[in-house]
Amino acid sequence: MRIVAVCGAGIGTSAILQVNAERALERLGIRADVSASDLASVAQAAADAQVVLTSSELAAAVREALGRSFAEIVEVHNYFDVDEIAGLLERSLG
């Protein structure tokens, strides 16, 4: 399973989201490859991903960039809230 964390530049915010998504997955007992990407590279980075994690502000741009991808776009409100991320992933992957 592949999950991609996306922010505008693909450096700081997506890296924080990646680490906290890995923590959330560990709590849930789910194995997945989590990577970080910038918005410009998301189509390539998420080509085989099942889930894309991003902010509400970037969700529409991510949808547009992905086109007909089968990845579910999950909007995270607080990148630092591992409980929120775990709940969102549990619903998405449930």
Helices in the chain by DSSP H: which ranges? 12-28, 42-45, 56-66, 82-93
pLDDT tens by residue, 70-88: 899 999 999 999 999 999 9
CA 73, 23, 29, 2 dihedral sign is positive
What the chain holds in terms of domains, given with CATH numbers, is 2-93 (3.40.50.2300)
Query: What pLDDT score does 10 carry?
Result: 58
pLDDT tens by residue, 47-59: 999 999 999 999 9
Query: What pLDDT score does 12 carry?
Result: 84
pLDDT tens by residue, 7-48: 887 568 999 999 999 999 999 999 999 999 999 999 999 999
3 state DSSP class of 47: coil
